[in-house]
Amino acid sequence: MNYTLSHGTIISMKRVPKTLIALTAITATLSPTALSATMAPVLADPAPRSSAPNTDKCDNATTPPSAETTSEKLAPGRTSIAPLPTVDNEFGSCGITKATGFDVPTNTASAWMVFDLDTGAVIATKDPHGRYRPASVIKALIALVAIDELDLSKKVTITNDDVNQEGSAVGFVEGIDYSVQQLLDGLLLGSGNDAASALARALGGEDTTIKKINDLAQELGTVDTYAASYTGLDAQGMSTSVRDLAVIYQAAWQNPVFADTVKKEYSELPADKTGTTFQVWNDNGILMNTEHGIGGKTGFTDDAHHTFVGAKNINGRRIAAVILDTTIDLGRPWEQANKLIDAGYKVAENQAVGSILRKESSIPSEESQPKELSRPSFTNPSDNRDTTPRFVILGALVALVVLGALAWMFGKREDREDRVDR
């Protein structure tokens, strides 16, 4: 049994000695926002899979799979966004393409890519240009724009709109000033949509931010990506591919602020104006559960299913994996990615099936990019969940904090993927 605090700390009963579970009389410091006494809704996981979907026929070359919810329902007055132009597949197949020596581990992902984070060499891939919904892994784009445009020490005051964002929140407190760096911590460690909202406001507002992140995606050389939201919440037109995410995250990891942020285990953030703080923990399982992990990003929506980006650095060789549209039937997304990365390390450095970089002539021009900013209708919040349930019963909160600390003492660091990124 696992419990999750709204500010992102996962507590697993399986790693706490039974004799200690009865301890409850403990005081703890929590974000006031985290103490909203509500029970989180439970959302369904994707239909079970016993193996990865067959993508040999390139069924998703133009658009992502059909939505299972009403998340892509158009808001009144909005026009549907046409799919991006299709591109030539430089890898020659929508199935699995792999370098000599790469043994494909068991997984349930529709698409994945294993690549050298520094050279861009692709070691193995499945459906590289297949178009899928990214969920929260797309937050790397707003992070990069914020790092580029905002002073990291700039203070941003959290508003009521921020704390009431649809989807996940890490517990930023209305009326409190947070630095841009602290907002980045909440965005990248805990996948906070409250952080994303505050950053977007500092960048000029929702529509301006969406334009900026799509401009950046195009500048980086993406060909399958349109970000219809900056949080990863599903919306009509949302699209990416594992190849494009490899491009985005290679650029992200080359940015020292991004790289330093995603490798933090936790961040201490103000809970009020008196100096009280709360912690946001990194939800990336590769960082928290492997010796050589350097971070990444988690994602989940009902229509995107599980998504994941993670990387490791072993003896100076950095290998990353991107996963789209997977389930947890054969392992958590971070576990599937970790196996893919480990398989990559068994391949000689001079072996590759291609590169994440494309010839300039094959990159769509600005004129080919979607122009209409179509926004989803949020009349039914349960259809647009982007990350994990945020709250547990108020009466259990204090006890669970100590159990989390005990889990740290008596077992290795918990897999934050149990807190699915909705």
The phi, psi pair for 2, rounded to 5°, reads -120, 145
The answer for residues whose C-beta is within 8 angstroms of residue 205's C-beta and 6 or more apart is: none
* Helix-helix angle 206-220:193-202, to 10 degrees: 90
First to last CA, the chain: 19
CATH class of 2-418: alpha beta
Report the 10 Å Cβ neighbour count for 378: 14
pLDDT of 198 reads 99
Are the C-beta atoms of residues 169 and 8 closer than 8 Å to each other?
Answer: no
For the record, the structure tokens of 63 come out as: 């658009």
Helices (H), 312-390: 333-345
* Helix-helix angle 180-189:139-149, to 10 degrees: 170
pLDDT-derived band at 90 (thresholds 50, 70, 90) equals very high
What's the mean pLDDT in 373-386? Answer: 35
Give dist(CA 422, CA 193) in Å, integer: 11
Q: What angle do CA 196, 200, 204 make, to 5 degrees?
A: 175
Q: What angle do CA 335, 336, 337 make, to 5 degrees?
A: 90
Which position among 110, 191, 241, 374 bears the catalytic label?
Answer: 191
Residues in a beta bridge with 4: 10
Whole-number CA gyration radius for the chain = 20
139 is catalytic: yes
For 277-328, write each residue's pLDDT tens digit. Answer: 999 999 999 999 999 999 999 999 999 999 999 999 999 999 999 999 999 9
More confident residue, 10 or 112: 112
Which position among 6, 136, 229, 374 bears the catalytic label?
Answer: 136
Report the 10 Å Cβ neighbour count for 51: 10
More confident residue, 43 or 113: 113
Of 319, 369, 367, which is closest to residue 339 (Cα–Cα)? 319
Residues in a beta bridge with 207: none
Report the 10 Å Cβ neighbour count for 348: 10
Give dist(CA 304, CA 326) in Å, integer: 9
One-letter amino acid for residue 61 of the chain? A
Give dist(CA 138, CA 166) in Å, integer: 16
Q: Where are the domains of the chain?
A: 2-418
Query: What's the chain's average pLDDT?
Result: 83
pLDDT-derived band at 53 (thresholds 50, 70, 90) equals very high
Which position among 139, 212, 312, 339 bears the catalytic label?
Answer: 139
Are the C-beta atoms of residues 253 and 146 closer than 8 Å to each other?
Answer: no
Helices (H), 44-155: 139-149
346 is catalytic: no
Do the annotations mark residue 339 as ligand-binding? no
Give dist(CA 169, CA 388) in Å, integer: 9
Check whether 73 has a pLDDT greater than 60.
yes
Give dist(CA 298, CA 321) in Å, integer: 12
pLDDT-derived band at 78 (thresholds 50, 70, 90) equals confident
pLDDT of 43 reads 53
What's the mean pLDDT in 353-361? Answer: 81
Of 370, 328, 86, which is closest to residue 235 (Cα–Cα)? 370
pLDDT-derived band at 44 (thresholds 50, 70, 90) equals low
